[in-house]
Amino acid sequence: MSINSGDLADKLHDKLETVEIKFSDMKAGLKHSVVDGQSVLEAKLAAVKKHILSGRKHALEMQISLAEWVQEKRTQSKVSVDQWHQHRELTKLEKRAKKSSKYAEDAISAVMINLHYAESAVLEALIDAAILEEVLAAKESSSTETADR
């Protein structure tokens, strides 16, 4: 089974569009999160963390796969690939193309996973900022009450 570059480009394009949509949603959600209450932010954070945990096994497998691909790329010289091309060693070229395709897909998936981690960090920062504001407001309120007495 050979790899069709057009199909591969379409598949990778779709994956990148998914990443772009997730990123856009995250940016839009950030603006709305300022007005959301702490409980809403905590619920969003819990959902994101649940998603991260559910994908952890896949993420680890993907990291191993990416590392193996990088190591293999280092060991295969340009000369070797050129020789495979000249001698029409289709099996080796096809294997390399499949691994490169998987690497590209995994790299895009890694971006998506990192977006989830970023979203988690953003939500945690917003929750911490909300808690700080609440404590500062309470402190200011108690200082004002003490001064009024």
In eight-state DSSP terms, residue 76 is S
DSSP H helix total and E strand total for the chain: 5, 0
The whole-model pTM stands at 0.71
- Tens digits of residue pLDDT in 2-47: 678 899 999 999 999 999 999 998 888 887 777 778 888 899 999 9
Contact 3, 97 (CB under 8 A): yes
| CA dihedral angle for residue 109, residue 114, residue 120, residue 121, rounded to 10 degrees | -170
Q: Where are the domains of the chain?
A: 40-148
Contact 45, 126 (CB under 8 A): no
